[in-house]
Amino acid sequence: MDKLITITQLSTMLNLINKKTKKPSNHILRFWEKKFKQIRPTQLNNRRYYTNEQVEIIKLIKYLLKDKGFTINGVKKILNNNVNSLDDYNSIKLKTDYQKENIKLKSKKLLEKLKRLKKYGKKNTH
């Protein structure tokens, strides 16, 4: 069974934080839910919970909107693409670029943990 995370945990994970209040900007995720049919969190007791699969889709959406400067309609086209035209090649390339960035980030975090482990030992790896 997938681990479910709350909207606040996801906002924090994605660094969607209000600069003034330092609180998670959950409204951004709620807005994206309205715009992208791929985001359908489970609702229990009026709280939103996201699966790992949805988290990956949301990370891709954030990457395309915030890092690549796409419009919402542009991101919708990429998410809905059916690889059968030349334009779809660019969509595939963007998804691949996102995956490369994601792997680089995970590798960097792992390397940092290994360096801390080597320097301080097992007890102080936080």
Whether 81 is in a domain gets the answer no
Domain range for residue 1? 1-59
Instruction: Annotate 16-54 with DSSP letters as a single string.
Output: -B-TTT--B-HHHHHHHHHH-TT---EEETTEEEE-HHH
When divided into structural domains, the chain yields a total of 1
Whether 20 is in a domain gets the answer yes
The values of phi and psi at residue 47, to 5°, are: -120, 145
Enclosing H/E stretch for 6 = strand 5-6
pLDDT in tens, 5-49: 999 999 999 999 999 999 999 999 999 999 999 999 999 999 999
Whether 78 is in a domain gets the answer no
CATH number for the domain spanning 20: value is 1.10.1660
pLDDT in tens, 73-122: 988 888 887 444 444 546 667 777 777 777 888 888 888 888 888 888 76
Within a 10 A sphere around the Cβ of 50, how many other Cβ atoms? 25
